[in-house]
Amino acid sequence: MKTGRAFEPQHVAKIERDGSLIHILAPSVGHWRDAPSEGALVQPGSSLGFIETLGVLHRVVAPSGAAGVVIARDGNAKAPGHVAYGDVLLTLDLEAATGSVAAAAAEASADADGLAFRSPLSGRFYSRPSPDQDPFVKPGDTVKVGQTVALLEVMKTFNRVTYGGDGLPDTAKVLAVVPDNESDLDQGDVILRLE
Protein backbone atom coordinates (compact mmCIF):
# COMPACT_ATOMS: atom_id res chain seq x y z
CA MET A 1 0.00 0.00 0.00
CA LYS A 2 1.29 3.44 -0.85
CA THR A 3 1.56 5.91 2.00
CA GLY A 4 1.11 9.65 1.92
CA ARG A 5 -1.69 9.44 -0.63
CA ALA A 6 -4.73 11.64 -0.14
CA PHE A 7 -8.04 9.96 0.58
CA GLU A 8 -10.76 10.22 -2.00
CA PRO A 9 -13.17 13.07 -1.35
CA GLN A 10 -16.78 12.13 -0.83
CA HIS A 11 -19.85 14.10 -1.87
CA VAL A 12 -23.31 13.59 -0.47
CA ALA A 13 -25.88 14.02 -3.24
CA LYS A 14 -28.90 16.29 -2.90
CA ILE A 15 -32.48 15.13 -3.47
CA GLU A 16 -35.77 16.52 -4.73
CA ARG A 17 -39.08 14.81 -3.99
CA ASP A 18 -41.97 14.48 -6.41
CA GLY A 19 -44.66 12.37 -4.76
CA SER A 20 -43.27 8.84 -4.46
CA LEU A 21 -40.36 9.73 -6.77
CA ILE A 22 -37.00 10.92 -5.47
CA HIS A 23 -34.60 12.65 -7.85
CA ILE A 24 -30.90 12.39 -6.94
CA LEU A 25 -29.05 15.53 -8.03
CA ALA A 26 -25.38 15.90 -8.96
CA PRO A 27 -23.44 17.49 -6.08
CA SER A 28 -20.76 18.83 -8.44
CA VAL A 29 -19.66 19.27 -12.04
CA GLY A 30 -17.68 16.53 -13.76
CA HIS A 31 -17.86 13.12 -15.40
CA TRP A 32 -20.19 10.65 -13.66
CA ARG A 33 -19.45 6.91 -13.79
CA ASP A 34 -20.21 3.57 -12.09
CA ALA A 35 -23.86 4.41 -11.51
CA PRO A 36 -26.22 1.86 -9.96
CA SER A 37 -28.26 0.05 -12.60
CA GLU A 38 -31.99 0.36 -13.09
CA GLY A 39 -33.80 -1.84 -10.57
CA ALA A 40 -31.00 -1.42 -7.98
CA LEU A 41 -31.96 -0.57 -4.43
CA VAL A 42 -30.57 2.71 -3.08
CA GLN A 43 -30.48 3.48 0.62
CA PRO A 44 -28.95 6.33 2.64
CA GLY A 45 -25.17 5.97 2.45
CA SER A 46 -25.29 3.84 -0.74
CA SER A 47 -22.59 4.50 -3.31
CA LEU A 48 -24.01 6.25 -6.39
CA GLY A 49 -20.81 6.04 -8.40
CA PHE A 50 -18.10 8.62 -8.89
CA ILE A 51 -17.84 12.13 -10.31
CA GLU A 52 -14.41 13.01 -11.68
CA THR A 53 -13.61 16.70 -11.42
CA LEU A 54 -10.24 18.05 -12.57
CA GLY A 55 -8.72 14.57 -12.39
CA VAL A 56 -9.95 13.83 -8.86
CA LEU A 57 -12.52 11.08 -8.26
CA HIS A 58 -15.25 12.00 -5.77
CA ARG A 59 -17.43 9.17 -4.49
CA VAL A 60 -21.10 10.20 -4.52
CA VAL A 61 -23.26 8.79 -1.72
CA ALA A 62 -27.01 8.87 -1.16
CA PRO A 63 -28.15 11.26 1.58
CA SER A 64 -30.57 10.44 4.36
CA GLY A 65 -34.07 10.33 2.94
CA ALA A 66 -32.88 8.79 -0.33
CA ALA A 67 -34.35 5.30 -0.40
CA GLY A 68 -35.92 3.61 -3.38
CA VAL A 69 -35.48 1.52 -6.47
CA VAL A 70 -33.70 3.11 -9.45
CA ILE A 71 -36.28 3.53 -12.23
CA ALA A 72 -34.27 5.87 -14.45
CA ARG A 73 -30.73 7.11 -14.67
CA ASP A 74 -29.05 9.82 -16.67
CA GLY A 75 -26.25 8.87 -19.02
CA ASN A 76 -24.41 5.60 -19.38
CA ALA A 77 -23.35 3.77 -16.22
CA LYS A 78 -20.28 2.24 -17.89
CA ALA A 79 -18.89 5.25 -19.79
CA PRO A 80 -18.28 8.65 -18.19
CA GLY A 81 -21.05 11.17 -18.78
CA HIS A 82 -20.71 14.91 -18.21
CA VAL A 83 -22.98 16.31 -15.50
CA ALA A 84 -23.53 19.83 -14.23
CA TYR A 85 -24.27 20.81 -10.65
CA GLY A 86 -27.90 19.95 -9.87
CA ASP A 87 -28.46 17.66 -12.88
CA VAL A 88 -30.68 14.65 -12.15
CA LEU A 89 -28.44 11.59 -11.87
CA LEU A 90 -31.06 9.04 -10.83
CA THR A 91 -34.77 8.80 -10.22
CA LEU A 92 -35.89 6.50 -7.41
CA ASP A 93 -39.35 5.06 -6.80
CA LEU A 94 -40.02 4.95 -3.06
CA GLU A 95 -43.22 2.89 -3.34
CA ALA A 96 -41.52 0.16 -5.41
CA ALA A 97 -38.87 -0.10 -2.73
CA THR A 98 -41.01 -0.53 0.37
CA GLY A 99 -40.57 -4.30 0.51
CA SER A 100 -37.07 -4.18 -0.96
CA VAL A 101 -35.78 -1.71 1.65
CA ALA A 102 -37.00 -3.90 4.48
CA ALA A 103 -35.48 -7.00 2.86
CA ALA A 104 -32.15 -5.25 2.22
CA ALA A 105 -31.99 -3.92 5.76
CA ALA A 106 -32.65 -7.39 7.10
CA GLU A 107 -29.97 -8.85 4.79
CA ALA A 108 -27.47 -6.15 5.77
CA SER A 109 -28.05 -6.57 9.47
CA ALA A 110 -28.58 -10.30 9.85
CA ASP A 111 -27.52 -13.28 7.84
CA ALA A 112 -27.07 -16.93 8.75
CA ASP A 113 -24.10 -16.07 10.99
CA GLY A 114 -25.58 -12.99 12.69
CA LEU A 115 -24.92 -9.28 12.27
CA ALA A 116 -22.67 -8.28 9.35
CA PHE A 117 -21.16 -5.04 8.02
CA ARG A 118 -20.82 -5.24 4.22
CA SER A 119 -18.59 -3.51 1.69
CA PRO A 120 -20.24 -0.40 0.19
CA LEU A 121 -18.30 -0.79 -3.08
CA SER A 122 -15.89 -3.06 -4.91
CA GLY A 123 -12.15 -2.67 -4.47
CA ARG A 124 -8.97 -3.95 -2.82
CA PHE A 125 -9.35 -4.26 0.96
CA TYR A 126 -6.77 -2.84 3.37
CA SER A 127 -7.20 -3.48 7.09
CA ARG A 128 -4.67 -0.87 8.23
CA PRO A 129 -3.75 2.73 7.25
CA SER A 130 -0.19 1.71 6.35
CA PRO A 131 1.88 -1.49 6.58
CA ASP A 132 3.63 -0.38 9.78
CA GLN A 133 0.47 0.64 11.67
CA ASP A 134 -2.11 -1.30 13.67
CA PRO A 135 -5.35 -2.46 11.99
CA PHE A 136 -8.32 -0.09 12.05
CA VAL A 137 -10.33 -2.75 13.94
CA LYS A 138 -9.69 -6.23 15.26
CA PRO A 139 -11.82 -8.91 16.93
CA GLY A 140 -12.96 -7.77 20.36
CA ASP A 141 -13.03 -4.06 19.44
CA THR A 142 -16.23 -2.03 19.68
CA VAL A 143 -17.10 -0.02 16.57
CA LYS A 144 -19.39 2.98 16.41
CA VAL A 145 -21.12 4.83 13.58
CA GLY A 146 -18.68 6.92 11.54
CA GLN A 147 -15.57 5.00 12.69
CA THR A 148 -13.13 4.02 9.93
CA VAL A 149 -12.92 0.22 9.71
CA ALA A 150 -10.91 -0.25 6.50
CA LEU A 151 -9.66 1.26 3.26
CA LEU A 152 -10.81 0.16 -0.19
CA GLU A 153 -8.62 0.95 -3.17
CA VAL A 154 -10.63 1.76 -6.28
CA MET A 155 -8.83 2.93 -9.42
CA LYS A 156 -5.65 3.72 -7.42
CA THR A 157 -7.64 5.89 -5.00
CA PHE A 158 -8.01 4.93 -1.35
CA ASN A 159 -11.53 5.21 0.10
CA ARG A 160 -12.23 5.25 3.82
CA VAL A 161 -14.88 2.71 4.79
CA THR A 162 -16.81 3.85 7.83
CA TYR A 163 -19.10 1.78 10.01
CA GLY A 164 -22.84 2.40 9.84
CA GLY A 165 -25.92 1.78 7.75
CA ASP A 166 -29.55 0.79 7.91
CA GLY A 167 -30.22 -2.21 10.11
CA LEU A 168 -26.95 -1.85 12.04
CA PRO A 169 -26.76 -0.68 15.67
CA ASP A 170 -24.93 2.52 16.62
CA THR A 171 -22.25 0.44 18.34
CA ALA A 172 -21.31 -3.21 17.96
CA LYS A 173 -18.59 -5.64 19.04
CA VAL A 174 -16.34 -7.01 16.26
CA LEU A 175 -16.38 -10.82 16.21
CA ALA A 176 -14.27 -11.20 13.06
CA VAL A 177 -12.66 -9.25 10.23
CA VAL A 178 -13.61 -11.49 7.29
CA PRO A 179 -11.41 -10.50 4.30
CA ASP A 180 -7.67 -10.98 4.22
CA ASN A 181 -5.57 -7.83 3.93
CA GLU A 182 -5.11 -6.80 0.26
CA SER A 183 -7.86 -9.13 -0.97
CA ASP A 184 -10.37 -8.01 -3.61
CA LEU A 185 -13.95 -7.39 -2.51
CA ASP A 186 -17.20 -6.99 -4.39
CA GLN A 187 -19.90 -4.60 -3.26
CA GLY A 188 -21.95 -6.37 -0.58
CA ASP A 189 -19.19 -8.73 0.60
CA VAL A 190 -19.02 -9.09 4.38
CA ILE A 191 -16.21 -7.08 5.99
CA LEU A 192 -17.08 -7.48 9.68
CA ARG A 193 -19.03 -10.07 11.66
CA LEU A 194 -20.59 -8.26 14.61
CA GLU A 195 -22.35 -8.87 17.89
Is 121 found in the same domain as 96? no
Question: Of 165 and 104, which is predicted with more confidence?
Answer: 165
For residues 101 and 120, state if they share a domain. Answer: no
pLDDT at 106: 43
pLDDT over threshold 50, residue 31 = yes
Are both 135 and 169 inside the same structural domain?
yes
Q: In terms of domains, do 74 and 114 share one?
A: no
Co-location of 140 and 81 in the same domain = no
pLDDT in tens, 99-134: 444 444 444 444 445 688 888 888 899 999 988 999
Span 23-36, average pLDDT: 86
Q: Are residues 133 and 99 in the same domain?
A: no
Residue 1 lies in a domain: no
The rounded percent of the chain whose pLDDT value lies above 90 is: 11
What is the residue-averaged pLDDT of the chain?
Answer: 78
Band of the pLDDT at 52, cuts 50, 70, 90? confident
Distances (CA, A) of 77 to 29, 50, 127: 16, 10, 29
